[in-house]
Amino acid sequence: MNRRSFLGASLASAAVAGAQTRYDIVIKNGEIRDPAKDVRRRGDVAVLDGRIAAVEADIPAARAASVIDAKGSYITPGLVDLHTHCFWGASFGVEPDPIAKRSGVTTWVDAGTFAHDQIEGFRKFVIDRSQVRIFGFVYLYPNSRNPDLDPVKYVRGLMRATGRMIEANKDVVLGIKLQVGSNMNGRYSPEFLKIAREWCDAFRVQLMAHISFSPPETDEVMPLMRSGDVVTHCYNTHGIGIVEKSGEIKASVLDARKRGVKFDTGHGLGSFNFEIARKAMAAGFLPDTISTDIYNLNVKGPVFDMPTTMSKMLHLGMSFEDILLRTTVNAARIVNRVPGLGTLDVGAPADLAVLAIEEGKFPLTDSQRNTVTADKRIVCRETICRGKRMA
Ligand SMILES: [Zn+2]
């Protein structure tokens, strides 16, 4: 649907949602936060037929089949996690729905748990069977077990098959995920990044570059990133980082951001460091998106879930609203497949989270096992996806 017809549909559903409409769900008495329009006010949100049907100061509870009391909580768009591994049963993938229920994440972007020849299985057994929305970046790396194979030739040889796969699955495949760094079983070559660049240009898709151990250097990677591409693990401690020893942000990183390259946290088991994040934020460099890089080796710590990652950013000094912007509409714009996703527009998909900020003493641990004690944490009290409460 283009933007105009989407707005038309919104107006139509708003008109249909008249005084006598019975809603599927009404969330009442919450603090509404819709970062797409910088909305911050108390009110109610109604859901009907999988869409947001009304956002008003007071919607009578009697008009809803199901009522959620959000007193003391925030009603927000469902969270969008731009870097996850949710191909359950393959590699380190977690099962998304049970985690979504407790975390508010209604859109999951899989960052390369699947290769070009695994998309059909990922779609049939994970995407189609999950309540949450799932998209993904296809993994570009030689997965052949033959040690004699030249990995660069191997990857280049897959170009056509991967291209066909991308074309046939553009509804869910956003682009290519590439691990950039020397820790790839000693098989890293700068050629991979060049091949990925060619690929993304040829098939007009985005590149998600995971930055880790150099070589290559940051200044060699950034010029190959274009507008709309994503650099993930931006607060890592590794050689390909964004912060100079002096604490300034590297010039090539600032240039990339100016060109429209997006920078994502991608917490993970090894890639989120409080000190680097503090330095980057002190230099004015906030991430464009906040993601977890959740998989089954970090879901029991230090990542746990999206609210825990958000709590770390809150502890580092970001406002709740700034965090929400980066976990809803900013990430949804990169996904760019579902009109209204990541917003509370009337007519938008009814993906919602009820979040709260609790006060107390909460230990939070980064990827290097540095622990801080936060006096606040963000928790999820309810998740609604596609108009239904997650069970
Ligand atoms: Zn990852």
Confidence grade of residue 150 (pLDDT, cut at 50, 70, 90): confident
Q: How far is the CA of 104 from the centre of ligand 1 (A)?
A: 20
**How far apart are the C-alpha atoms of 272 and 233, rounded to whole Å?**
7
CATH code of the domain in which 37 resides = 2.30.40.10
Q: How many CB atoms lie within 10 A of CB 334?
A: 24
Q: What is the radius of gyration, based on Cα positions, of the chain?
A: 21
Could you tell me what percent of the chain has a pLDDT over 90? 81
Taking residues 124-138, what's their average pLDDT?
A: 97
Is 340 part of any domain?
Answer: no
- The reported pLDDT for the residue numbered 66 is 97
Residues 24 and 160 in one domain: no
Residues 231 and 84 in one domain: yes
- The reported pLDDT for the residue numbered 143 is 66
Q: How far is the CA of 24 from the centre of ligand 1 (A)?
A: 36
Element (H, E) at 357: strand 352-365
Q: How far is the CA of 278 from the centre of ligand 1 (A)?
A: 22
Mean pLDDT over the full length of the chain: 92
Least confident of 74-83, 138-147, 212-221, 225-234: 138-147
Is 123 part of any domain?
Answer: yes
Q: How far is the CA of 268 from the centre of ligand 1 (A)?
A: 7
Residues 243 and 368 in one domain: no
- The SS3 assignment for 50 reads coil
Is 239 part of any domain?
Answer: yes
Predicted confidence (pLDDT) at residue 321 exceeds the cutoff of 70:
yes
Q: How far is the CA of 176 from the centre of ligand 1 (A)?
A: 13
Is 261 part of any domain?
Answer: yes
What residue numbers bound the domain in which 353 lies? 3-76+348-389
Q: Token pair of 288, please?
A: 């464009």
**Domain total of the chain:** 2
Residues 155 and 53 in one domain: no
Taking residues 114-121, what's their average pLDDT?
A: 92
Q: In Å, what is the CA distance from 236 to each residue of 126, 138, 188, 262, 296?
A: 30, 22, 19, 15, 20
Q: How far is the CA of 340 from the centre of ligand 1 (A)?
A: 26
Q: How far is the CA of 265 from the centre of ligand 1 (A)?
A: 11
One-letter amino acid identity for 23?
Y
Is 343 part of any domain?
Answer: no
Q: How far is the CA of 86 from the centre of ligand 1 (A)?
A: 10
On whether the CB atoms of residues 366 and 273 are closer than 8 A, the answer is: yes
Residues 49 and 106 in one domain: no
Q: How far is the CA of 236 from the centre of ligand 1 (A)?
A: 13
Predicted confidence (pLDDT) at residue 214 exceeds the cutoff of 90:
no
Least confident of 11-15, 153-157, 203-207: 11-15
- The reported pLDDT for the residue numbered 235 is 97
Q: How far is the CA of 76 from the centre of ligand 1 (A)?
A: 26
Q: How far is the CA of 97 from the centre of ligand 1 (A)?
A: 18
Is 342 part of any domain?
Answer: no
Predicted confidence (pLDDT) at residue 362 exceeds the cutoff of 80:
yes
